[in-house]
Structure 1
Amino acid sequence: MKIVFLDRYTVANVDTSVFGLLGEYSEYDYTYPDQLIDRCKGADVVITNKVYFGEDEMKQLPDLRLICIAATGMNNVDLEAAKEHNIAVKNVVNYSTSSVAEHTFALLLELYKAIPHYDAYVKDGSYSKSGRFFYPGPVFHEIHGKKWGIIGMGNIGKKVAAIATAFGAEVVYYSTSGRNMDAGYPAIALDELMSTCDIITIHAPLNDATRNLIDLKALNLMKPTAYIINVGRGGIVDEAALATVLNNDAIAGAALDVYSEEPLSADSPLLKLNNPDKIVLTPHIAWASYEARNALVQKIVVNIKETFNV
């Protein structure tokens, strides 16, 4: 069996030598479209995180039997074309639930507790020079007693709900699909969630129902003291609209780990806010704890073994 990993950088420092125990294995840090066919010739299995596979690629790879997506989302593979070419496609689910849920709280607490400001105050010597044990700086808040709205009640949404409840928040949710429900929490309309919640977190996939779901109209429903966090998919939140409401002080703050264009454009309005302290940005890392990436590799191994009965 010949196995090729096309964008190995996505699992970074996780050991991938286990693939070599299954057959002839080669890996590439990243693969550009004009390199794909040469690298995949003769391969039975291709592993890809973001490298795209469509009809044109598949018809040139007659030996290909399995595409392993090193992620949950399957947008980078033409599933209909794969079916026509008798190529199995397998993704990995539930490997990063804890990682994304924990990152949600890391982003929130960074904002909610004004951590960057207070950290800088101590490290730049201001605290040492103050002569006081306490510094009454920017206002910060407790999660306890706040109303927390979750958009997307899949596995990650449910995990966030449980943790938020442990903090003492009142959790409500909006199911973007109408299928992922949880009887333990009230399901409410999106407009009600946007207008009544103190904290709003997004854990939904990007599809026709969620693209630009959180537009200027939705953002303007939020309370001026509310915060919104997107760790779902870029494209769900209209980033220009988000910049507008932040610049107008219409909401208290925001945090994003995902963007409509990745990497984030240097011209993004999110990088040019009047007050950059109102936003926290991370480079699509919520899913990528060491433990999650290791679990991802192990589950890809299982997918290969199950497909080839080895």
Structure 2
Amino acid sequence: MHIVFLDASTLHSGELDLSPLQRHGTLTTYPVTPPDQVAQRIHDADIVITNKALMSAETIAHAPKLKLIVSCATGVNQIDLDAAKSHQVVVSNVAGYSTPSVAQHVFTFILNFATQIPQFNAESRNWPNFPTFTSLAHPCFDLSGKTLGIAGLGEIGAATAKIAQSFGMHVQVLAREGSSNQTLPELPRLEHALFFSSSDFVSLHCPLTPATEGMINKESLSLMKPTAFLVNTGRGPLIHEADLAEALNSGQIAGAGLDVLSTEPPAADNPLILCKHPQLSITPHTAWSTIEARTRLLAGVTKNIDSFVAGSPNNRIV
């Protein structure tokens, strides 16, 4: 079999061993693949691995040998699933590999807001000139007793909730119509207005759907405390970015920690890229990317290929 990895640089930069992917044939890897080169690169492929490289209906139609597409991620929105089904191409993904990594990243944001470590570190080389042994320039606060509101109580949301509880925080969940409430059922589920108005931190972990797109907007931000912080390690379009920038600049909320934006890489004129608020922290979609998470992801991709070749596809989406 011919296996093609269209954007291997999204998984590693040389530190991972990709040889297990070669168990069933030849492996061709590309660091990235522009959209206009996908069709050419997969024309003779039996198996395609993609993280963000688009597998459109037209592309799939022009790959006559294609049998399996493996998403090197949990999401499969880069793949035209209807086209894959019509061409009898199996699609699989990898779930759960990044849960500890993302939950850790959420709390890195939260702890930095509570301790002001980035701000103090930026000034620390001037410590010899301080008039006293310490600095109160950036007020800190305890997490114990504060309230974390979680929107989306899946695996990552639940892991984040457990970390919060270990810090003595109260945890509450945004009520969602149709939710079974089986995950951590002891946590209170609050309706929209009360959830946003009573949370000291709001952390987003919900999927991107028509109902959740733009859920953070002028209305929801107006409900939040001026001392509250927003954290998003979920999906960028959950936030109306111009509204958040305005809320930060006006003092409507105290700060935000973002690992995702609506377009990635973002445009230079993205309102959050332009925002200079001292309590806005942005990381370039790295919450998922610990070496352990990427090792688990590679193992999941390999297992999907192995199971497909064995005749019983694992983690099958289509």
TM range (shorter): over 0.9
Could you say if the C-alpha distance between residues 82 and 180 of structure 1 is closer, same or farther in structure 2, counting changes exceeding 3 Å? farther
Give CA-to-partner distance per residue, 1:170-219, whole Å, 9 cap, x none: 00012557336320311111221111100110011211121101111111
CA distance in 2, matches of 1:151, 1:39: 40
Distance 2:176 2:134 in 1: 44
Q: Quick check: 1:8 aligned with 2:30? A: no
Q: Which residue of 2 aligns with 1:295?
A: 296
Whether the 8 Å CA contact 2:249–2:277 is kept in 1: the answer is no
- SS of equivalent to 2:238: coil
Asked if the contact 1:176–1:204 (Cα under 8 Å) also holds between the matched residues in 2, the reply is: no
- Report the counterpart of residue 41 of structure 1 in structure 2: 43
Output the CA distance in 2 between the equivalents of 1:175 and 1:302: 36
Aligned to 1:149: 149
Range 211-220 or range 174-183, more displaced: 174-183
Match of 1:267 in 2: 269
Aligned pairs for 1:84-233 within 5 A: 84-123=86-125, 125=126, 127-174=127-174, 176=176, 178-179=178-179, 181=181, 182=183, 183-233=185-235
Which ranges of structure 1 fall in alignment gaps of 5 or more residues? none
Q: Shift in Å at residue 97 of structure 1?
A: 0.3
Give 1:247-262 correspondences, 5 Å limit. 247-262=249-264
2:161 match: secondary structure: helix
Helix, strand or coil at the partner of 1:287: coil
3-state DSSP class of the match of 1:277? Answer: coil
How far did 1:222 drift? 0.2
- Cα deviation 1:82-121 (Å, max 9, x = unaligned): 1111100001000000000000011122222111111122
Conservation of the 8 A alpha-carbon contact between 2:213 and 2:237: yes
Deviations 1:260-285 (A, max 9, x none): 11112211221333x52120000001
**How many residues in Structure 1 have an aligned counterpart in Structure 2?**
307
Query: Hey, what's the Cα distance between the residues in 1 that align with 2:241 and 2:50?
Result: 28
Tell me: CA distance 1:175–1:297, structure 2 relative to 1, closer, same or farther (3 Å).
Answer: farther
Give the TM-score normalised by structure 1: 0.95
Give per-residue Cα distances to partners, 1:133-167, cap 9 Å, x unaligned: 22121111111100110001100000000000001
Q: Could you say what the CA RMSD is over the residues aligned between the two structures, in angstroms? A: 1.4
CA contact (8 A) 1:111 1:280 kept: no
Once the 2 structures are TM-superposed, how far is the Cα of residue 14 of structure 1 from its aligned partner? 2.2
Partner SS for 2:237: coil
Deviation, structure 1 residue 132: 2.2
Identity %: 39
Q: What is the aligned partner in structure 2 of residue 305 from structure 1?
A: 306
SS in structure 1 of the partner of residue 139 of structure 2: coil
Contact 2:55 2:79 in 1 (8 A): yes
8 Å CA contact 1:171–1:185 kept in 2: the answer is: yes
1:175–1:288 distance in 2 versus 1, CA, 3 Å: farther
Equivalent positions of 1:78-89 (< 5 A) are: 78-89=80-91
- In structure 1, distance between residues paired with 2:267 and 2:180: 33
Q: Which whole-Å CA distance do the structure 2 matches of 1:24 and 1:189 have between them?
A: 53
Give, in whole Å, the separation in 1 of the partners of 2:175 and 2:128: 49
1:243: how far off?
0.5
**CA–CA separation in structure 1 for the residues paired with 2:129 and 2:57:** 66
User: 1:297: how far off?
Assistant: 0.5
Shifted more, 99-108 versus 132-141: the winner is 132-141
